[in-house]
């Protein structure tokens, strides 16, 4: 029999076997994770798109009503309020949160003692449960028994309504939110600052750069990519603002702290208008996506890549 | 000195200019008085700031040992007069708090265990094994990080309701079995992992799974520790999904329980602060023990 296999055929056969065994092991290793992650995100995402075209009440599938939910939400004053509040939170928190994070990181980025202690202190509010923190600050800012009003009274200032005052509640939540998040900003900025080689700063000094010049021309350009990241992260997080609202004001007083996610939760799981809630969720999704893409596009135009 | 040698190679005019610059920089660095002590001046800002930041937690723990009348005095006292434990006994003896705590431990423990296994397997496969569709799958998995939970939560509730998972701990564990972030963390770790060790194992005749189990995993302990810490903190603190998926008190997690407890004991502040203390302590302990790994992981994930 003339079954002389030439070397090329043997090599091809061996290659095919390796590839097949790679496919099998690869999928065996990654398969469970891939199925769970994709199954729990893309399937519900598509389902939500369908739900948003129905009048589902959460437990029954409901009827197909076309784009009625979307035309209704264009005229929904509550949604407009929730949208404005979420945007206000971002505007109040993001610039100050990032600037304060960078400032503290610069203070920490030296041969300073106790750096571990400081870093731990600043990170504790970030890792502790937001629900517990909301409850805690509900008490701290309590108009009658809260320690903040006691302090104001002690120095002769008028007592405030804080979370019970429609004109203050959102700002108070922004302050609490700042407190929970800024440790994260510090740690991320600090890691970026530690990447600046000491020689670069020394070289800048030799070229006659003062403290401000070094900050503007060395430090700021170096942390720009991280700033873009923190902006994107902050936007994603603000658009998910829920725990603090739920444990303090429940959207009140007079809807002054109603955020988008709180509104979606209310629509779907309190008022049982799941179809409409899904439509609002899609609006939230696209808005946050556009905001994120805008930030990334800005970064790319300025040649800042993550 | 080498500095002097390079300087000598330059024309005379440049040399004087250079010397002047170096002298100026030297003067800047050795300026007398407070500027020299500048590094330590940071404490003047950092010390009060860090104390203000942790103050609410210190106050929470102190208040949890005060009686309600003590708490409601104006101005509020800073230190408990006696070590009052009535708040804690209300929480532990006359509420469902022990159930909530146990449920949270089960859910977080299961999440940590499952993610350590599934995320490291998937991360390893994406980093090391060339299989069909691996690039596309990795991109799809990472893209899910952009899908907010509010978008998926309504259909997920409907699906879980239909398969009878709602109001069980399974509804809380299933979505936490693996995560895009965990897969990414392990993927990034294994990419920077030296290949030679695995190849040695392969030559010795080990299967992929044996190489992974006996050679790779033991060396991945730092990454696994970081993943475990992040997963525990996230799972323990989650409020949104348990609030939706669980309706009966005995199945609540500690976060959901806490919010109902607050509603039932609206002005009973020694009990409420006792409950918030018990809720935050496990996470704070895990964080304090593993904070180096935690910080490495979050900063590494950003840079990577």
Considering the domain architecture, whether residues B106 and B216 belong to the same structural domain is answered as yes
For residue A79, is it within any domain? yes
Residue carrying structure tokens 């208008």: A273
Tell if the CB–CB gap between B239 and A242 is shorter than 8 Å. Answer: yes
Cβ proximity of B281 and A129 under 8 Å: no
Pick the closest to residue B255 from B155, B161, B159, B172 (CA basis): B172
| Cβ neighbours of B19 in A, within 8 Å | none
The count of structural domains within chain A is 1
pLDDT tens digits for A247-271?
999 988 999 999 999 999 999 999 9
Number of H helices, E strands in chain A: 14, 0
Considering the domain architecture, whether residues B169 and B211 belong to the same structural domain is answered as yes
Q: Is B229 on the interface with A (CB under 8 A)?
A: no
**Residue A135 is part of which domain span?**
70-301
The pLDDT, as a whole number, for residue B34 is: 47
Percent of chain A whose predicted confidence (pLDDT) is above 70: 97
Tell if the CB–CB gap between B45 and A107 is shorter than 8 Å. Answer: yes
Confidence of residue B4 (pLDDT cuts 50, 70, 90): very low
Phi, psi at A46, each rounded to 5°: -70, -40
Considering the domain architecture, whether residues B44 and B147 belong to the same structural domain is answered as no
Percent of chain B whose predicted confidence (pLDDT) is above 90: 48
Domain boundary among the residues B89, B124, B150 is at B89
* Helix-helix angle B254-264:B221-237, to 10 degrees: 30
Domain boundary among the residues B89, B121, B154 is at B89
Nearest CA in chain B to A193: B299
Distance CA A106, CA B52 (A): 19
Distance CA B258, CA B239 (A): 10
Phi, psi at A64, each rounded to 5°: -70, 125
The count of structural domains within chain B is 2
Confidence of residue A296 (pLDDT cuts 50, 70, 90): confident
Distance CA B228, CA A103 (A): 31
Query: Would you say residue B216 has pLDDT above 90?
Result: no
B residues 77-116 closer than 8 Å to A (CB): none
Considering the domain architecture, whether residues B135 and B20 belong to the same structural domain is answered as no
How far does chain B reach from its first CA to its final CA, in angstroms?
40
CATH of the domain at B204: 1.10.3720.10
The pLDDT, as a whole number, for residue B86 is: 84
The pLDDT, as a whole number, for residue B12 is: 64
Considering the domain architecture, whether residues B206 and B150 belong to the same structural domain is answered as yes
Considering the domain architecture, whether residues B100 and B181 belong to the same structural domain is answered as yes
Considering the domain architecture, whether residues B103 and B176 belong to the same structural domain is answered as yes
Distance CA B255, CA B265 (A): 15
Phi, psi at A76, each rounded to 5°: -85, 110
Tell if the CB–CB gap between A30 and B150 is shorter than 8 Å. Answer: no
Confidence of residue B13 (pLDDT cuts 50, 70, 90): low
B residues 18-77 closer than 8 Å to A (CB): 21-22, 24-25, 28-29, 39-40, 42-43, 45-46, 49-51, 53-54, 56-57, 59-60, 71-72, 74-76
pLDDT tens digits for A81-136?
999 999 999 999 999 999 999 999 988 888 778 888 999 999 999 999 999 999 99
The pLDDT, as a whole number, for residue A210 is: 79
Tell if the CB–CB gap between B294 and A127 is shorter than 8 Å. Answer: yes
- The DSSP-derived string for B225-265 is HHHHHHHHHHHHH--HHHHHH--SGGG--HHHHHHHHHHHT
Q: Is B10 on the interface with A (CB under 8 A)?
A: no
Tell if the CB–CB gap between B147 and A45 is shorter than 8 Å. Answer: yes
Query: Would you say residue B145 has pLDDT above 60?
Result: yes
Distance CA B53, CA B66 (A): 22
Considering the domain architecture, whether residues B111 and B16 belong to the same structural domain is answered as no
HSE at residue B15, side-chain half, CA atoms within 13 A, is 10
**Residue B197 is part of which domain span?**
96-303
The pLDDT, as a whole number, for residue B5 is: 47
What the block records as the tokens of A37 is 């992650």
Peptide bond into B39 cis (omega under 30): no
Tell if the CB–CB gap between A282 and B151 is shorter than 8 Å. Answer: yes
B51-70 burial, b for 16+ CB within 10 Å, e for fewer? eebeebbebbebbbbbbeeb
Tell if the CB–CB gap between A179 and B148 is shorter than 8 Å. Answer: no
| Cβ neighbours of B260 in A, within 8 Å | none
The pLDDT, as a whole number, for residue B30 is: 60
- Which residue(s) pair with A64 in the sheet? A54
For residue A23, is it within any domain? no
For residue A186, is it within any domain? yes
Considering the domain architecture, whether residues B288 and B155 belong to the same structural domain is answered as yes
Nearest CA in chain A to B48: A118
Query: Would you say residue A145 has pLDDT above 60?
Result: yes
The pLDDT, as a whole number, for residue A305 is: 56
- Count of all residues that appear for chain A in the document: 306
pLDDT greater at residue A195 or residue B277: B277
B residues 126-145 closer than 8 Å to A (CB): 126, 129-132, 134, 137, 140-141, 144
Secondary structure letter of residue B69 according to DSSP: H
pLDDT tens digits for B72-118?
776 667 788 888 888 898 889 888 999 999 999 999 999 999 999 99
Region for residue B133 given its phi and psi (left: phi exceeds 0; alpha: psi -120 to 50; beta: otherwise):
left
Domain boundary among the residues B54, B89, B124 is at B89
Measure Cα distances from A177 to B46, B207, B262 in Å: 20, 50, 20
Cβ proximity of A238 and A90 under 8 Å: yes
Q: How many Å lie between the alpha carbon of B295 and the closest alpha carbon of chain A?
A: 7
CATH of the domain at A104: 1.10.3720.10
Report the 3 state secondary structure along A113-129. CCHHHHHHHHHHHHHCC
B11-26 burial, b for 16+ CB within 10 Å, e for fewer? eeeeeeeeeeeeeebe
Distance CA A194, CA A212 (A): 18
Cβ proximity of B142 and B184 under 8 Å: yes
Q: Is B233 on the interface with A (CB under 8 A)?
A: yes
Confidence of residue B194 (pLDDT cuts 50, 70, 90): confident
Tell if the CB–CB gap between B144 and A247 is shorter than 8 Å. Answer: no
Nearest CA in chain A to B51: A121
Q: How many Å lie between the alpha carbon of B79 and the closest alpha carbon of chain A?
A: 14
The pLDDT, as a whole number, for residue B9 is: 55
Considering the domain architecture, whether residues B65 and B104 belong to the same structural domain is answered as no
The pLDDT, as a whole number, for residue B204 is: 79
Cβ proximity of B87 and B273 under 8 Å: yes
The pLDDT, as a whole number, for residue A181 is: 93
Give me the residue from B56, B132, B137 closest to A140, CB to CB.
Answer: B56
Nearest CA in chain B to A291: B146
Distance CA A69, CA A279 (A): 6
3-class SS at A251?
Answer: coil
Residues with Cβ within 8 Å of B289's Cβ and at least 6 positions away in sequence, in order, are none
Distance CA B263, CA A248 (A): 11
Considering the domain architecture, whether residues B238 and B129 belong to the same structural domain is answered as yes
Considering the domain architecture, whether residues B122 and B198 belong to the same structural domain is answered as yes
B137-166 burial, b for 16+ CB within 10 Å, e for fewer? bbebbbebeebbbbbbbbbbbbbbeeeebb
């Amino acid at each position: 029999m003339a079954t002389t296999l030439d070397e090329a055929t043997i090599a091809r056969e061996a290659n095919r076997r390796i590839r097949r065994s790679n496919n099998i092991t690869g999928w065996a290793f990654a398969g469970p994770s891939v199925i769970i992650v994709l199954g729990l995100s893309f399937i519900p995402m598509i389902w939500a798109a369908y739900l948003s075209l129905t009048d589902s009440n959460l437990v029954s599938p409901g009827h197909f009503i076309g784009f009625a939910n979307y035309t209704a939400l264009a005229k929904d004053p509550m949604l407009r309020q929730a949208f404005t509040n979420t945007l206000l939170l971002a505007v109040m928190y993001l610039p100050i949160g990032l600037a304060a994070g960078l400032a503290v990181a610069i203070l920490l980025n030296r041969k300073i003692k106790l750096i571990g202690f400081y870093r731990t202190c600043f990170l504790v509010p970030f890792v502790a449960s937001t629900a517990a923190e909301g409850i805690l600050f509900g008490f701290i800012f309590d108009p009658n028994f809260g320690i903040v009003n006691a302090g104001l009274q002690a120095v002769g200032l008028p007592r405030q309504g804080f979370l019970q005052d429609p004109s203050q509640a959102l700002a108070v939540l922004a302050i609490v939110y700042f407190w929970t998040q800024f440790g994260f900003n510090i740690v991320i900025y600090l890691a970026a600052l530690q990447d600046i080689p000491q020689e670069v700063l020394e070289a800048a000094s030799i070229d006659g750069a003062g403290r401000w010049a070094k900050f503007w021309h060395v430090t700021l350009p170096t942390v720009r990519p991280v700033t873009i990241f923190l902006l994107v992260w902050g936007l994603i997080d603000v658009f998910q603002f829920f725990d603090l609202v739920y444990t303090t004001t429940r959207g009140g007083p007079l809807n002054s702290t109603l955020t988008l996610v709180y509104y979606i939760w209310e629509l779907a799981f309190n008022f049982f208008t799941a179809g409409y809630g899904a439509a609002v969720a899609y609006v939230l999704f696209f808005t946050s996506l556009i905001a994120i893409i805008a930030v990334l596009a800005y970064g790319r135009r300025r040649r800042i890549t993550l | 000195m080498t500095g002097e040698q390079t300087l000598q190679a330059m024309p005379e005019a440049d040399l004087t200019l250079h010397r002047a610059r170096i002298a100026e920089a030297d003067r800047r660095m050795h300026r007398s008085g407070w500027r020299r002590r500048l590094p330590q001046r940071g404490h003047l800002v950092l010390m009060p700031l860090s104390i203000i930041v942790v103050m609410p937690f210190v106050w929470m723990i102190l208040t949890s040992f005060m009686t309600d009348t003590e708490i409601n005095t104006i101005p509020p006292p800073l230190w408990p007069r006696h070590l009052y434990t009535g708040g804690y006994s209300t929480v532990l003896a006359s509420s469902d708090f022990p159930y909530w705590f146990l449920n949270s431990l089960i859910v977080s423990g299961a999440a940590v265990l499952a993610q350590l296994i599934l995320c490291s397997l998937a991360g390893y496969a994406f980093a090391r094994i060339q299989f069909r569709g691996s690039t596309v799958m990795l991109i799809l998995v990472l893209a899910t990080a952009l899908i907010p939970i509010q978008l998926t939560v309504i259909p997920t509730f409907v699906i879980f309701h239909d398969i009878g998972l709602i109001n069980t701990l399974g509804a809380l564990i299933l979505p936490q079995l693996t995560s895009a972030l965990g897969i990414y963390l392990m993927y990034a770790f294994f990419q920077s992992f030296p290949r030679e060790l695995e190849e040695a194992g392969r030559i010795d005749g080990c299967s992929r799974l044996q190489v992974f189990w006996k050679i790779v995993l033991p060396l991945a302990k730092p990454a696994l520790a970081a993943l475990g810490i992040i997963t525990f903190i996230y799972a323990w603190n989650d409020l949104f999904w348990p609030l939706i998926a669980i309706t009966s008190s005995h199945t609540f997690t500690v976060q959901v329980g806490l919010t109902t407890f607050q509603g039932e004991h609206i002005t009973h502040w020694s009990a409420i602060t006792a409950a918030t203390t018990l809720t935050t302590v496990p996470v704070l302990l895990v964080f304090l023990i593993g904070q180096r790994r935690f910080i490495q992981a979050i900063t590494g994930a950003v840079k990577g």
